[in-house]
Amino acid sequence: MGLISDEYVRLLGAWPSPFVLRTRIALNLKRVPYEYLEEEDSLNSESVLNYNPVHKQIPILIHGNKPIRESLNIVMYVDETWLSGPPILPSDPFDRAVARFWDVYIDEHCFTSINGVAVAKDEEERKAAIAKLEMCMALLEETFQECSKGRGFFGGDNIGFIDIGFGSMLGPLKVLEKFTGVKFIHPETTPGLFHWVDRFYSHEAVKPVMPDIERLVEFARLKFNTSIFK
C-alpha cells in the first residue's frame, strides 16, 4: 500500500471478540467506511505489536496513521470524530457520565462473570459466577428502564453507548445460556432487556457484523477446554 490518507480508516480485530464488535457497530452507526483486517493470532501479530506495544491487544482503530486503542475509548473517539449518523453518547454531561459508568460496570462485572462461569473449576465456583451474572442482568434491567425512558434502546430512540457496550456481550451470553441451560435474559425476570435484544440484533448497524452463535459455540469449545463446553 502506498501513502495512507489522513482519513483512511483501518480496524485490526478478530471475529469472536465482543470488544472488536463494539468498534464495528460504532463505525457502522456513523457510516464510516473502513478496512477490516482480521488478526487470527493477535498475540504474535506484527501489526498489533506495532500499533499497541503496551497491551498487545485488539481492537485497534487506525485513523490515517494514528492508532486508537481500547474498545470503549475507540467508540468515544468515533463518536467525537465523525458527526454523521446519530450521536452515540448523550450530550448532557451527567447522562454521559452515567453511560460511561455502566459500560465500565459491564466490562468489570458482567464480562468477568461470563468468563467466570466458563472457567469455573467446580460446581460451587460455577454457581457463584452464575449468581453474580444474574445480579448483573437484574441491575441492567433497572438501568434499561431508567435510561430508555420507555423508548427502544438504552440510548433512547437509537443505539447508544450502553447499547453498544452490553450488546457486544450478547453472543458470549447466548453461548453460555446454551451450555448451562440458564436463561439470563428472560421475558419474566428481565422483560425490558428481553425485547431490547431483538431490536438490537435487527438494527442495521448491528446485523451485518454480529457473529453467528453456532460459530461462537464451536470457538468456545476450542478455547475453554472445560466440562461446561463438552
**Matching CATH topology for 7-79 and 91-221?**
no
pLDDT confidence of residue 90: 96
Q: Which of 1-5, 94-98, 154-158, 197-201 has the lowest mean pLDDT?
A: 1-5
Helix, coil or strand: residue 30: coil
First-residue to last-residue Cα distance in the chain: 44
pLDDT given at position 40: 78
Our CA angle for 184, 58, 211, nearest 5°, is 45
Q: How many CA atoms lie within 13 A of 141 on its CB side?
A: 18
- pTM (two decimals): 0.92
Q: Would you state the pLDDT for residue 4?
A: 55
Where do the structural domains in the chain lie, given as residue ranges? 7-79, 91-221
The CATH code of the domain at 91-221 is 1.20.1050.10
CA torsion, points 160, 174, 129, 162, in degrees to nearest 10?
0
Q: Are 58 and 50 in contact (CB under 8 A)?
A: no
Q: In the CATH scheme, what is the homologous superfamily, with its name and number, of domain 7-79? A: Glutaredoxin (3.40.30.10)
